[in-house]
Each structure stands twice: as C-alpha cells, then as structure tokens.
Amino acid sequence: MAPSPRLSRRAFFCGAAALAVASAVPGDAGATTLSTSAIQALLDADGGWTLLDADADGVALYQKSVTGHGVLAYKGVRPVAVGPQALFDTICDVPAHKAISGGVLAESVVLHKSESALHYYQVMRSPAWVPISDRYWFLQSSIRRDIGGRVGHHKRAWNPLDVTKYSEAHGAVVSRFPDAVQVTLNSGSWEVQPGKTAADSVLIYRIFSHPGGNISDSVASQVSQRSLPENMLKFEAAAKQRA
C-alpha cells in the first residue's frame, strides 16, 4: 500500500478539519520536476533526515526537505518481532492491502507481477464525513530480495505508473469513481532488514507524496506524517498473522 496517500482512519480524523479549510492550490498540486530516480536517491540517502519524533507509536519518525517543494519526505524506522520473509511477503501482497488498510482502500488490484516488478492500482474512498474527494493511484514497484547476498534484506520501491499502459483499467476506475482525483506524486519504499534473530526484523518506510487536488502542501505533509506510523503498525500486525 502506498503511502503516502495511504491515509489511515486516525489520519482522516486528525486532518479532517484542516482538509476542509485547505486553501485552494493550482490543479497541478504535487507536480514535480524531479525524476523518479532522483526522488528514490533522495529517500535512500542517509543525509538530510531530521528526527521528528523518537517514539511515534513505537516508530522513529524522520522528515526531510526537498528542494523546490513545500511538501516534505518522511521516513519511519521500527524494529518488529516478525521475520523478514513474512513481513516482506505481506508488503508485496497488494490484494491483501485492502483488508490491511481497515477499510481505507476501496480497491487494491494487481495489473502485472513478476519476481522483480509489480504494477498495480489502489483507490482510497473518503468517508462520508470527510469533505474531500476519493483518491486513486497507479504505481510500479521494483522488488529486490536478499540484497547484496544478505539474507532477509528486502526492498520494494514504488513510483507512479503511466496509466496509458493500462488504459482499459484506468478507464474502468474513472467510471466507477468519477469524482476521484488521481495522485501523481507518489514515490516511496518499504525496506526490511534482518534483526538480531530470525524472528526479528527492522522495518523502514519512506514516502514522498501529495494527494493533489485542492490540498495545500502543508496539509499534505501533515497527513503523511500522521498516517505513516499507523501504516507501519498495520503491516506489522498483518505479517504476524501470517508468520
């Protein structure tokens, strides 16, 4: 599940008032001149991260400024009591993200899958009591397991997917959700590193995204910041059920 726009129920609750009064911004809100490779390099780089909260529901939460953008990048780090394989399998099981989201996602559909790549789309339906439009995103992921020969070190990084490659699926989403706004700035990664034992892992979640539409950069950052820890906890809980 991509985060970034991956909004938890708590994030909706915390940000509802702010979203309702968010100042109108241009229709290309969230647009970027950075290439996806540049964004991923920025997220992966150790430098520039500032510790925002050492214990955000058990997650060490960091933020990073991105030159030319008002929206911030975020990173969460958390040791988890579940093995790397079960944790990463959960992260890569896109159809299961709908249930893991706890009702936030209306659809989570795989379009293409191989050992090293994943194409999919997800639709976030806003609760009736939140005055914002639904959101959807088409994403492509790279999948890497046992990176550098290190058993248990896995990573799934995602970036926007050109919807013209799946025009039929995109048209069907627009037909089912005619008022939904497409999220075009949505990059990030899930990284799993082996822990001290085979039953432990370190989970790292990085996001740089903007919901688009008439949502300001400051509100977009606020929602990402608040939803990130809960998303990590949801995937940890789901992985423990698999283990």
Write out pLDDT tens, residues 171-192.
Answer: 999 999 999 999 999 999 999 9
Q: Please classify residue 8 by burial: count the beta carbons closer than 10 Å to its beta carbon, then call 0-12 exposed, 13-18 middle and 19+ buried.
A: buried
List CB contacts of 243: < 8 A, sequence separation 6 or more. Answer: 82, 83, 86, 199
State which residues of the chain have pLDDT below 70: 1-32, 127-130
Alpha-helical regions (H) of the chain: 9-20, 36-44, 84-92, 97-100, 167-176, 217-242
**Burial environment of residue 130 by CB neighbours within 10 A (0 to 12, 13 to 18, 19 or more):** middle
pLDDT at 33: 78
Q: How far is CA 165 from CA 25, 31, 46, 60, 170, in A?
A: 29, 20, 34, 37, 9
Amino acid at 31: A
Residue ranges of domains in the chain, CATH in brackets: 51-242 (3.30.530.20)
Q: Please tell me the distance from the alpha carbon of residue 120 to that of residue 110, in angstroms, as a whole number.
A: 4
pTM strictly above 0.85: yes
